[in-house]
Structure 1
């Protein structure tokens, strides 16, 4: 079973950039809600070396039809050269929450 909703994830280097992106998405009706999870630790390879950073995670709740616009907005507003953008298909959930998303995003 599938729904017409998606969760888009990204990470930011600062709380300020995370809040900026979240507000931009919500104000432009690209996301119904964005959760900001502060202080996650990320270990990854960048420019040939292992890097360890403190980052901020964003969980963006949106509709499938808006995903390409969400990705474009994240890339435009992000401070990273190569921002993480991953899209997760929402297969089930609260119909009341989905109804609220529809109201907010229309």
Structure 2
């Protein structure tokens, strides 16, 4: 397989926004699939104080080839000033699933 598979993650404080960020990435073929986790509680430093929020974690299944375009798209669409953006390498998995991710994110 020529493309490596990655899981890229961000969060949103709004479920509808999380769904829009998920659907838009799949419709744009930037991600083969997206999972949205149920609300989680986040604690973080922001502007000198500790904040608490309920957020939805959004996990994108994509390839290293599509990752730069997905990141650019996400930063354009995301309402946060500094959205979480991390990537996790996929070091193994079902060959059929990994091939599906590559096929679904192939550029037209």
TM-score using structure 1 length:
0.93
State the partner residue of 1:47.
Answer: 47
Describe the SS at the equivalent of 2:92: coil
Relative to total residues, which structure has the larger helix share, 1 or 2?
1
Query: Structure 1 stretches (4+) deviating beyond 4 angstroms?
Result: none
Q: Distance in 1 between the 2:68 and 2:51 partners?
A: 29
Q: Distance in 2 between the 1:70 and 1:19 partners?
A: 16
- Alignment length (residue pairs): 104
Q: Distance in 2 between the 1:71 and 1:17 partners?
A: 16
**Structure 1 residues not aligned, in runs of 5+:** none
State the superposition RMSD in angstroms: 1.0
State the partner residue of 2:33.
Answer: 33
State the partner residue of 2:90.
Answer: 90
State the partner residue of 1:70.
Answer: 70
**Conservation of the 8 A alpha-carbon contact between 1:9 and 1:60:** yes
